[in-house]
């Protein structure tokens, strides 16, 4: 956004999708090895802010927290998928939430002020989330195209998955599926105190690899009823 000197009452309040994410393990790494971890941090910045700019998305990074906002759910989810990719490459994981609501921002010189009910809710969800995932808040409407993409392109390329009663941003991709599984297994061996969190992630990977539907049952039933999807009966054995 451009610099604005208007008082808050005279500035526009947008309705945005707000993603708030925590890079798990980053704080411990930077305390143990600042110089080495700074290079990892620069990789995040290069990817999210420069190498893969996403039109209509604003990204702010501060230490281990990443704020991603935009008026397109698809583009905010795409940015978070890029964040997931970079995190896993560097043996890190992500936890966070996407919400939708009012967002006010003022930039003046080197300063930025933000007030957002969506951000407040996203931070609250992230703090209470016990697994490495970026969830979509229950009150965020997910268009059918997100679920249909799972059947058109397969579960690795679906932007959003439904797993264990949560709608989440898909952390995997075609080129990174097996490697993500291996990284999670390695991290679990290194941090057995977080075993349950890694087991959850590995279970998600198994569900994707096994080609589970990974969409809400009521959504699947409706898509079939509306004939946006069709069941294909198994071929009779010869």
Per-residue pLDDT averaged across 24-53, rounded?
79
- Please determine, for residue 238, whether its predicted confidence score (pLDDT) is greater than 50: no
> How much is the pLDDT for 235?
61
* pLDDT above 90 as % of the chain: 54
- Compare 205 and 236 and report the one with higher pLDDT: 205
Where does the chain have alpha helices with state H?
A: 26-32, 34-45, 73-89, 117-127, 144-153, 177-190, 195-209, 217-225
11-225 CATH choice from 3.40.50.150, 3.40.309.10, 3.40.50.2300, 3.30.70.1230? 3.30.70.1230
Q: Among 22, 16, 23, which Cα is nearest to 116's?
A: 16
Output the pLDDT for position 208. 93
Give yes or no for residue 234 having a pLDDT over 70: no
Give the span between the Cα atoms of 179 and 34, in whole angstroms. Answer: 26
pLDDT in tens, 214-225: 999 999 999 999
pTM assigned to the model: 0.88
Q: What is the mean pLDDT of the chain?
A: 87
Structure tokens at 236: 């009779």
Region 151-178: what's the mean pLDDT? 90
Whether 200 has a pLDDT exceeding 90, the answer reads yes
171 φ, ψ (degrees, to nearest 5): -85, -5
């Amino acid at each position: 956004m451009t610099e604005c000197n208007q008082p808050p009452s005279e500035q526009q309040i947008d309705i945005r999708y707000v993603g708030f994410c925590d890079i798990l393990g980053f704080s411990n790494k930077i305390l143990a090895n600042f110089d080495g971890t700074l290079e990892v941090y620069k990789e995040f910045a290069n990817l999210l802010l420069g190498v893969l700019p996403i039109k209509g998305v604003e990204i702010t990074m501060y230490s281990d927290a990443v704020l991603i906002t935009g008026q397109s759910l698809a583009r905010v989810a795409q940015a978070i998928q890029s964040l997931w990719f970079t995190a896993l490459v560097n043996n890190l994981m992500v936890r966070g939430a996407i919400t939708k609501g009012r967002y006010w921002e003022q930039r003046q010189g080197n300063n930025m002020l933000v007030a957002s009910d969506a951000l407040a809710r996203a931070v609250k969800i992230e703090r209470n989330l016990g697994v490495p995932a970026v969830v979509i808040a229950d009150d965020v409407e997910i268009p059918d195209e997100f679920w249909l993409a799972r059947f058109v392109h397969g579960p690795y390329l679906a932007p959003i998955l439904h797993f264990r009663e949560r709608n989440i941003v898909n952390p995997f991709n075609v080129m990174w599926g097996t490697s993500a599984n291996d990284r999670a297994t390695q991290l679990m061996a290194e941090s057995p105190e977080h075993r349950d969190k890694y087991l959850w992630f590995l279970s998600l990977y198994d569900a994707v690899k096994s080609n589970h539907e990974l969409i809400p049952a009521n959504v699947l039933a409706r898509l079939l009823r509306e004939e946006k999807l069709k069941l294909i009966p198994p071929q009779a054995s010869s």
